Structure formats: structure tokens, C-alpha cells
Amino acid sequence: MQIWTGTAFMHTAEAVPVARMLDEAGFDGIVVSDHMIYPRNLSSPYPSPTGKPMWTPETAWPDSWVLIGAMAAVTTSIKFTNAVYIAPARPLLEVAKQVATAAVISGDRVTLTVGAGWMREEFELMGQDFATRGKRLDEMIVALPHLWRGGWVAWSGKHYQIPELMLEPHPAKAVPIMCGGESEAALRRAARLCDGWVGNAYTWEDAEEKVTTLNTLRRSYGRTDAPFEIMLAIRDVPSADMFRRAEDIGVTAVMCSPWAMADDVASGSHDGFKLTADRYRAPIERFADTILAKMSR
């Protein structure tokens, strides 16, 4: 069982020193979230009962690959991925270049987790077609490994035409591609094309349902023998026993926030009115001592 955590809603400057703490504490991975902007006039409905995002317009979403590169530079073992990267809001070659560079810098500690996205405004500002985002993402997932092979590479598809070119640096080995999202289309995309799936936070019953659905879909696509990761969060108090139970139902990685219940972190306490990443140190070390140390890893 892998134990991951994330940087969402963290102050941007804190993420790099916190990554070093997580690496030293023995966590397996860090998840980075993605948004380009927050438009003043947001008309796109967020996929939730309210139709509104749960964050405020001023919430910071640092660029995924700049942040991953910075965190990789100060760590040695911990891995990185997204939850999720809105790949079809960017040009194919830009995605290929950024991920390849991050993979090389990190020593192949990068997995790309993609999603189709929901905010039309982001796509329009980036000059990408919102209506075809799902179909273009499907093609991207297939095209990216071709572009990462090294040497002269090319791609000819329905949505993307890449003439023969050199795209360097290229990863030393294939970068795994996972899919995020809870829609039927996202689950099918993960089962049919990807190396894994990244979900949200669930009850035990919902988590088991997601695992069953993915396994059923993988069988229907003839992919049951292919390696497949399932990463999600469980709405339960973290413990070594909880992580073992998650592994028993077919989950391969659990996302959690060691600092979620820490009063000094949750309240945003500060030293001299300047927020400091040191406020994360105690809950990270406590989590490592009380939970990670009890797990066979």
C-alpha cells in the first residue's frame, strides 16, 4: 500500500520544504492539483450538487510541472502525480515537453494523471476546443508515449498532427498515465487506456463500488492482466489498519492529509505574521511515527 498526500490549498512557497519533510518521513508520493485561472465571470458549472467550486477565486494553483520540478530537486525518493492535470486545455506538444522534462529531472519519479476538465473558460483562454476535450484527451493518452520514445518521433491522428521531430529530453522509461474523474466516461477512459485511476474521497461502500466498476470495465476491455493502480482517499480516521483494509479491497494507494486535524495548521497560525512550512513538521512526523512505522512497506 502506498501512502500519498497533496499540496492543494497549501501556501505555494510552503510546498517545496513540505515535500522535503514528506520525503524524509517515508511517504510514497505527493499529488499536485491544477487550474490555470479563476474567471471573474464563471459560467461553467462545477461538477457538484451546488454547481459551484468549493474554493475562493484567490486560491493559488501553482503550475503543476514547475512545482513538481522544484519539489523533485529537494527530494530523493518520493514520487509525484496530479489530481488532476487538465491536459486537453494545453497543446499536445506542451504537455509532452513538460512531463518529459519533469521525468528526467526527478529520475523517473513522475506519473501523469489526466482529466477532461470542466471549466470552459480555461480552454477558451488557452485556445483549445472545449467541446472535443474528451476525444482529444483519449488521443493524447495514446500519442504521448510515442512522443516520449526519443529520437525522431511523429504522430498522426484525428485531432493532432505532429510532423517528424526531436523532443528532448525524453524519459528514460515510459511515464505511467493515469486518469482522474468520477464520470462514466472517465472510468471507461481509465480502464481502457490508462495505467491507473485517481479518485476522490469516499466511504468504504463507495470505494468498493469504484474498485468493482473499474475491474469490471477492465475485464470488458481485455486488460485484467495489465498493471493498474487505484488511488483514492477514504473518509475514515487514518490508521495502519485502515490502510490495510483499503489494500484488501483492491486500492493500491491512499491519499491523506497528516495535518488535517492539526490545530496550528488548520488555523493558519504564524510566527511573526509570516506563515512557515515548519507548522507542518509535527503532524508529518507524528503520522510517520504512529502509522507509517507500523506498516510493512
pLDDT at 272: 38
d(CA 207, CA 231): 10
Place of cell 508515449: 145
Tell me how crowded residue 62 is: count the other CB atoms within 10 A of its CB. Answer: 19
**pLDDT by residue (tens digit) across 171-213?**
999 999 999 999 999 999 999 999 999 999 999 999 999 999 9
**pLDDT by residue (tens digit) across 204-237?**
999 999 999 999 999 999 999 999 999 999 999 9
Q: Taking the domains of the chain in order of start, what are their residue ranges?
A: 2-294
**pLDDT by residue (tens digit) across 284-294?**
999 999 999 98
b/e for 14-31, b at 16 or more Cβ within 10 A?
Answer: bbbbbbbbbbbbbbbbbb
d(CA 232, CA 236): 12
What CATH homologous superfamily does 2-294 map to? Answer: Luciferase-like domain (3.20.20.30)
Q: Is the per-residue pLDDT at 262 higher than 90?
A: no
